[in-house]
């Protein structure tokens, strides 16, 4: 805990830099669950998709509740890289302006699953360069000519299961998650842990890109590596580490999902 650029904000002011609209019982288009954990499968002790080239630089959502869009593009960017070996930056503004009919509300919040639904039904999402971020809502300007990636659906991980999240992260790639971010305005560096951080009151969409373990005062502490969308001058160069295997700290595994990206779909866009 320490001083950062949000330290002097009131709780209601920090809501401007969140924007995840948690719905406890979601009925989502094409919702799927996945059970991928094997009792005999040994997971790596640490994973960091940044070192594999699957994560774009940290972005900044500004004073717009568009965290859900940044989490969504981050997960799709990771899957696009895994299918093609090419890292691309996708347009959050495209999602902000164009996914209202799927349940999102621009700067007033949204859900990553709704964004994945929009991308699937729309047939793609534009590049960041062709549809740059403005931190405000505008008319939909999506163009097939500048679309860069797409998905064929999504997978929702079992609610609250950190082992399933760890397995998905190790085998699938970066995963969209939501957290209770009420206390993140006080974060500076280190492994974040707070007893009263809720696993249900989720208000901020982020991207898990890795996990590991660090020795702190003679004890091994497990952690998640999480990409935020508050700029590089926040936290650990735009990232934070969150306690892992601590009863689903801050709800990290309460609403985890990722887009399904068949290689043939991506290759058809590149032709």
Cα–Cα separations (whole angstroms), residue 2 to 61, 183, 255: 22, 11, 28
Hey, is 103 helix, strand or coil? coil
Whether 248 sits among the annotated catalytic residues: the reply is no
State how far the Cα of 42 lies from the Cα of 265, in Å rounded to an integer: 31
Instruction: Identify the active-site residue in 67, 98, 107, 197.
Output: 67
Instruction: Identify the active-site residue in 18, 104, 228, 248.
Output: 228
Hey, is 253 helix, strand or coil? coil
Torsion of CA 56, 198, 25, 176, to 10 degrees: 10
Half-sphere exposure of 116 (CA within 13 A, CB side): 29
Whether 228 sits among the annotated catalytic residues: the reply is yes
Q: Give the distance, in angstroms, between the CA of residue 174 and the centroid of all CA atoms in the same chain.
A: 8
- The answer for residues whose C-beta is within 8 angstroms of residue 90's C-beta and 6 or more apart is 73, 76, 77, 80, 125, 126, 127, 128, 148, 149
State how far the Cα of 57 lies from the Cα of 271, in Å rounded to an integer: 26
State how far the Cα of 186 lies from the Cα of 184, in Å rounded to an integer: 5
Catalytic residues: 67, 204, 228
């Amino acid at each position: 805990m320490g001083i950062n650029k949000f330290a002097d904000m009131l709780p209601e002011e920090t809501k401007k830099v969140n924007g995840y609209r948690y719905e406890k019982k979601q009925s989502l288009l094409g919702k799927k669950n996945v059970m991928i954990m094997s009792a005999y499968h040994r997971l790596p002790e640490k994973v960091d998709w940044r070192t594999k080239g699957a994560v774009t630089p940290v972005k900044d959502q500004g004073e717009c509740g568009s965290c859900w869009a940044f989490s969504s593009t981050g997960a799709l960017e990771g899957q696009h890289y895994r299918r093609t070996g090419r890292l691309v930056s996708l347009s959050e503004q495209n999602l902000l302006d164009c996914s209202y009919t799927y349940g999102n509300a621009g700067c007033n919040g949204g859900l990553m699953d709704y964004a994945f639904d929009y991308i699937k039904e729309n047939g793609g999402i534009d590049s960041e360069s062709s549809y740059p971020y403005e931190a405000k809502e505008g008319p939909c300007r999506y163009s097939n000519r500048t679309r860069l990636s797409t998905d064929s659906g999504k997978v929702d991980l079992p609610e609250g299961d950190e082992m399933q999240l760890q397995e998905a992260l190790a085998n699938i790639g970066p995963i969209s998650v939501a957290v209770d971010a009420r206390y993140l305005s006080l974060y500076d560096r280190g492994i974040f842990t707070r007893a009263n951080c809720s696993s249900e009151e989720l208000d901020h969409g982020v991207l898990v890109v890795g996990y590991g373990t660090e020795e702190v005062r003679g004890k091994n502490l497990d952690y998640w590596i999480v990409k935020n969308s508050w700029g590089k001058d926040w936290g650990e160069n735009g990232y934070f580490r969150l306690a892992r295997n601590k009863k689903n700290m801050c709800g990290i595994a309460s609403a985890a999902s990722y887009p399904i990206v068949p290689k043939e779909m991506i290759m058809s866009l590149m032709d």
